[in-house]
Chains A and B, each alone.
Chain A
Amino acid sequence: MTDELSALTTIFTEFYYWITVVLMFLIHVGFCMYEVGASRYKHHQHTLMKNTMLIPLVTVTWFLFGWWIYWAFPTGPGLAPSIMNESAALITDESTFSAKWYLPNTEYMAVNLGDHISGVFWAAFLLFSWTAASIVSGAVIERITTFAFGILAIAIGSVFWVIDAAWGWHFDGWMLKLLGYHDAYASGVIHAVAGGFALGILAVLGPRIGKFSSSGEPRNIGPRNPWLVTIGLFLIYTGFWGFYAACNIPIFDLGPEYGMEGVTYFTATNIYVTPTTLSGITFNFLMSLSGGLLAGYVISKGDPFWTYSSGLAGIICASAGNDLYHPIQSLIIAMIGVVVAYKMHYWVERKFKIDDAVGAVAVHGYAGFAGLIICGFVLNGYPSSGYSVGAMWVGTDYAPINPLGMFIGALIMFFLLGMLPGWIIAKVLHGMGKLRIPREVELAGLDYEIMEAAKDDEKSVASASR
C-alpha cells in the first residue's frame, strides 16, 4: 500500500471484519451455554465438549477445503456462467476471485503483506460455519456420539452450507441469476440449511429415552438451567450483531464496479454488492428481535425458553430481506416467522416423533424457510444484483427477486442441501453403529465416570488432614 487513502480503506476493512469475528465468537459461547443449560446434569460436560470440539474440526477443514468450495462453486457448476470468466465450470482459473487463490497451499492463506483481507474474510465465513454446525449440535444432545457429531459438523460446516453460500450468497452465484435469490443475512444460507440438516439427522437418530410415552405422547424435557439458557441466548443475540456486520461490505465504490461511467458512489453494501447501510440494518435487527420476542411471549404464553428463542427466530425470519425492509415490515415478518416456527415444531414433534432438544429445527430451519418465502413477496421486483438485471432462467444476467424463485431457493436450502445430506450421512453413521451412544450410557449419563471421579477426588481431599 503506497497511497494513504487506499491504505486507510484497506486497513479499515481489515479491522472491520476482524471485529465481526470477535463479536461472532460470542455466538459460539452462547450456543455452548445454551446447550449446557438445556441438557440434563448427567450429560453436561459431554454436551459442552461436543460443541467445543466442532471449533477445531470445522476450522481445520475450512482451511483445507471449505473456503475453496465457496470460491469454486458459484456456477453450480454447469448451471450459469460466471460474470468473471463467462464459463459455467468450477471457477479455478486466474480470475481475481478464483478459488485457485484459496487452496490451502497458496501464499494468500497465510501472513502476506500484499493481502490484508483474505484472512479476516476467511475467518468471518468460518464463524458462519461454526454457527451452522452449532445449530445442529443443540438438536442432537444427550444421545449422539462425539465422533458422529464431528463428522456431521464438518459436513454442514465445511461442505454443505458452503455450497449453498456459493450458489445463493456469492455475487456470482447461479441462484441469483436463474432464480433471483436474495438472502442478505442468511435466513436460508445458514439457518434453513442447518435446520434442515438437523432434521435429517434427527429422523435417523431418534428421540431421547423417555421423550415419548408408550402411546406416543411427547413429554417435556425442559431446560435444566434456565439462567444459563437465558445468558446463552443473550450472547447469541450479541454475536448476531457481528454476524450482520460481517454480511456487509463496509465501503465500496459502486460507480466503477457497476460500470457507470464517471459515477462515484461510496456506500456499504450487502454480500451481493448491492447498496444498504449499517444504520438501516440496525433498525431492522432490533425491530425483528422485538417482533420475535413479542410474538414468542404471546404464542408460548410467557414460556421463557420459547420467548428467548423466538427473539432469535424473529431475526432469522426477517434476515433474508433485512437489508431493504422497513423496520415495521421487519417486525411483522419476525412475528410471522415465530408463529410458523412454534406451530411447526409441535406439529412435527407429534406427527413424526422428532425430538429436537432445543428447538433448533424450528428456530433456524422453519423460521429461515418462512423468511425466504416472505422475502420473495415483499421484495418482489428488486434486482438481485447490481451488475445486469435480466429475467428468470436465462442465467447470463441476474433475475429480479420474485416469489417463485425464493420458494425454489428455500426448497434447495432446507431440503436439498440440508435435510437430504443430513439424513444420508446419519444413515451411513448409523449403519456403521457409530451414530448413537449405547442405551445403557444414555441412561447412566455421559458424564457418569467424570462425576464418579470427581466424587472420589472430593472424598480423598475431605479426608485429608494435611
Chain B
Amino acid sequence: MATVTNWIDHLSAKEVQGAIYPGVGSEGVLVIILVVLWIGWHVIAARQESEKLEKLARKRHGPNDWKSNVTDG
C-alpha cells in the first residue's frame, strides 16, 4: 500500500514521482466508493427527513405551541 518507503530514494530518483498517497492506482475505486457514499447519504437522509416531517405534521401543533418549549437557557 505504501507508495514511499524511503524518502531519500524517492526524492533522489531521476524523475520524482509526484503522487505520494497510499494506493496510487486505486483512485477509480475510491471515486466509486465516494459516489456510493454520496448517493446513499441522500437516500438515507431523505427517508429520515420524510419520517420526521410526517410524524410532526400528524400532531398538528398550533403556531404558538412552540413557546411552551422555550427553555430557560
Contact = CB atoms under 8 A, between A and B. Distances in A.
A102 B45 CA distance: 29
A111 B71 contact: no
Interface in A98-115: 104-115
Contacts of A440: 56-61
Contact of B66 (A109, A113, A437, A447): A447
A445 B57 CA distance: 10
A449 interface: yes
Interface stretch (A15-23, A144-152, A179-187, A372-380): A144-152
Nearest to A442: B63
Contact of A458 (B55, B57, B71): B71
A61 B21 contact: no
Interface residues of B, number: 39
Contacts of A115: 18
A16 to B, nearest CB: 21
B66 A451 contact: yes
B27 interface: yes
Interface string B22-62: 00100110110011011000100110011011111111111
Contacts of A389: none
A428 interface: no
Contacts of A449: 52, 55-56
A106 B16 CA distance: 17
Contacts of B18: 107-108, 112-115
Q: A146, A147, A438 — which one has the most chain B CB atoms within 10 A of its CB?
A: A147
B27 A438 contact: no
Contacts of B63: 443-444
B49 A458 contact: no
B19 interface: yes
Given A440-B61, A449-B56, A458-B71, A147 B21 contact: no
B35 A147 contact: no
Contacts of B70: 41, 451, 455
Given A441-B56, A451-B66, A61 B61 contact: no
A394 interface: no
B9 interface: no
Q: What DSSP secondary structure best describes chain B's contact surface? A: helix
A443 B19 contact: no
Given A115-B18, A448-B61, A150 B42 contact: yes
A444 B62 contact: yes
Contacts of A64: 31, 34-35, 38
Nearest to A43: B66
B56 to A, nearest CB: 5
A111 to B, nearest CB: 5
A224 interface: no
A113 B46 CA distance: 40
A438 B21 contact: no
Interface in A415-458: 434, 437-441, 443-445, 447-449, 451-452, 454-455, 458
Contact of B69 (A61, A146, A448): A448
A430 to B, nearest CB: 15
A382 interface: no
A105 to B, nearest CB: 4
A114 B66 CA distance: 57
B34 to A, nearest CB: 7
A27 to B, nearest CB: 24
B3 to A, nearest CB: 10
A405 B66 CA distance: 53
Contacts of B58: 440
Nearest to A61: B38
A61 B41 CA distance: 13
A145 to B, nearest CB: 6
Nearest to A458: B71
A60 interface: yes
6 smallest CB-CB distances across A and B, nearest first, come from A114-B18, A444-B61, A451-B69, A107-B19, A105-B27, A438-B57
11 contacts: A63-B34, A106-B27, A112-B18, A146-B45, A147-B46, A150-B42, A440-B58, A444-B60, A444-B63, A444-B65, A449-B56
